[in-house]
Amino acid sequence: MNGGIVYFDQAATSYPKPPAVVRAVNQALIQFGGNPGHGGHQMAMRAAGQVYRTREEAARFFGAEPENVVFTASCTHALNMALKGIMSVKGGHLLASMYDHNASLRPAAALALKGVCTVGFFPVYEGEPQRTLAAFRGMLQPDTRCVVCTHASNVTGAVLPIREIYEICQREGIVFILDAAQTAGVLPVSLRDADIICTAGHKGLLGIQGSGMMILRPGLRLGTLMEGGTGIRSLERDMPEDSPERFEAGTLGFPGIMALGAGMREVRRMGRERIYASEMAMAGRFYRGLCAIPGVRVVNRGFKMGDYVPVVSFCIGDRDGGSISEQLSAYGFMLRGGYHCAGMIHDLVGTRKTGTVRFACGRGATPAQVDALLKVVKKIAADG
């Protein structure tokens, strides 16, 4: 809580940040200050050492090699790099899930409009993984070169059968890109699950806004999204082939990288499994309470450990989700209302007209906060 405010919008960004993360930002600005990787003087080298320390932390976290950890400005940036980097080399057909965020749906659409590739979107049947997998298989084409899929929906929290999807992709020689924005730091995620992992730094990894990562399987070749200075081979006009420099043109967001390293260490300290269990207990309490309120429709089709992350979406009658969010905010509860930048899922769950109100709790949520929110939702529903 902050001045009577209860923050339940963790799926958008985590808050409050751990003290270690705040300290890391201050250290980046006060103790280091140099431009990492761009210079051989002491300040630049010290900053570069901190960047490499975060690469090593991420490599341990995701089962990767440090040189294949690429720092980005966001998960959206990482997904654009991955999708456009793969399809510019391979062409052909790209397949995405209808539960995906616009961070992958819009780059896919842009590629199709430019004639780089064709694009298809497979439906997800929440709580029916075999039906989802059958739909996925049915939409594969002989020239499918790449599949992108969210690990868990940012609208309902449903976890998709990504291990099985990846196994199919491996058999067919298809590159699989995983959007782990809602799961990194909450569920286990590694390069056993995908060829490329894209994630945000500011959600479950507890870093700050403006940070993200693209994590690559060794030997994977991608085109570049942007070109510029890398601090190495400056006399050459082409981008270097070496990762991560090939994908990190320009000045890195050093404070965000240091904060991300601190956030990942904090997740390790607290224990990812313990974080997940605690957050799911509070989200499950909210889910069960919502189901008992007349006039409220819970969009999630269930709420089982392992099948969901701590995200619950609901509607009240045919009212606009954004207006309900504003009412909740007036009572001090911060929940997001609307379409959550996920364009296609609302056709599948029947909320295209209203959007949803989304509850997403963090590690600090308490039963008293959840129960107080349920009372307010019940009042709003009763008032019509």
Domain boundaries defined on the chain: 6-17+271-383, 19-269
How confident is the model at residue 1, as a pLDDT?
Answer: 43
pLDDT value of position 225: 86
* Helix-, strand-, coil-residue percentages of the chain, each rounded to 5: 40, 15, 40
The residue with greater pLDDT, 227 or 96, is: 96
Would you state the pLDDT for residue 239? Answer: 84
Asked whether this chain's domains 6-17+271-383 and 19-269 adopt the same fold, the reply is no
| pTM (2 d.p.) | 0.95
User: For domain 19-269, is the CATH number 3.40.640.10?
Assistant: yes
Predicted pLDDT of residue 122:
97
Residues 101/212, Cβ–Cβ less than 8 Å: no
What the block records as the tokens of 342 is 């996920």
Q: For residue 3, what pLDDT is reported?
A: 58
Q: Tell me the pLDDT tens digit for each residue of 241-296.
A: 889 999 989 899 999 999 999 999 999 999 999 999 999 999 999 999 999 999 99
DSSP letters of 11-63?
A: TT---SPPHHHHHHHHHIIIII-S-TTS-SSHHHHHHHHHHHHHHHHHHHHHT
Position 4 scores a pLDDT of: 82
Fold of 6-17+271-383: Aspartate Aminotransferase, domain 1 (3.90.1150)
